[in-house]
Amino acid sequence: MRLPLIAGNWKMNGLRAEATALASEIRTALDRTPAEGVDVLICPPFLALAPVQEALAGSSIRLGAQDVHWEAKGAYTGEVSTAMLREVGCVFVIVGHSERRHIMGETNEHVNRKVKAAVAQGLTPIVCVGELLEERSMGDTYNVIERQIRRAFDGMPAADVARTVIAYEPVWAIGTGKTATPHQAQEAHRFIRKLVAKIAGPEVGEGTRILYGGSVKPENAKELMAQADIDGALVGGASLNAESFVRMVRYRE
């Protein structure tokens, strides 16, 4: 039984006061009428993590970061470690988001190191994979996803793979308003689940949460989430508004 996870990726949005206000609004709505049977996660920018953690104290909403470095400490200017994230209350971390891969030049090797470091230090990595539009047009979607997943989990025992979440985020659907059809998304998720089963065994394949990301909004969340292998959503733009985020958390209602 995979509990759905609705995760908000705030990206580089929100000064501390705005981030705290948004977190408090989401918290108040979910405190008033709790959403049963769904995990809720918000991933603010680094500098808003501590105040958002305070705003969420005592609630069941989880806190996550948008990136992490693989080394524990040292001369890595500008980077943030797993221990620093845990200290401010993070339990999840997004790794290999397409914006980091395509704007910041993050490679599959970097992703692999980050995933390993996160798991080793007790953070749950949300490993993002997904194809570019050109790759889909060339019929290369599944090769790209397979390469990204195999490399992300390279050298990891099955027990560690079991401690990750995967997000399938077709790059052409992120922030563009274009969503994969529920059928396209389900096909990709099915493929990913089978691949995880090949890599780490059928139980891990069956138990791994696979989120969909790419222009998810209240209007399409229910249909996407109804697919057999879609276990939640990683939401960018539509997570920046409390009302729309909470509507997605309540996608079943």
Q: Which residues are catalytic?
A: 97, 169
Residue 101 contacts residue 170 (beta carbons within 8 Å): no
Pick out residues in 162-181 that bind ligand PEP (CB under 6 A): 169, 174-175
The 46-85 site mask, x for binding ligand PEP (CB under 6 A), equals ----------------------------------------
- In the structure encoding, which two tokens stand for residue 119, read together? 């798991």
Pick out residues in 1-40 that bind ligand PEP (CB under 6 A): 9, 11
Give min distance, CB of 234 to ligand PEP, in A.
Answer: 5
Nearer to ligand PEP, 213 or 218 (CB): 213
Selected binder of ligand PEP within 141, 215, 220, 244 (CB under 6 A): 215
Closest C-alpha among 139, 132, 195 to residue 166: 195
Pick out residues in 183-212 that bind ligand PEP (CB under 6 A): none
Per DSSP, the chain holds a count of helices (H) and strands (E) of 12, 8
State the CB neighbour count (10 A cutoff) for residue 110: 19
Alpha-carbon span 51 to 49, nearest angstrom:
6
In the bound state, the residue with its beta carbon closest to ligand PEP is 236
Closest C-alpha among 70, 16, 73 to residue 48: 16
The residues binding ligand PEP (CB under 6 A) are 9, 11, 169, 174-175, 213-216, 234-238
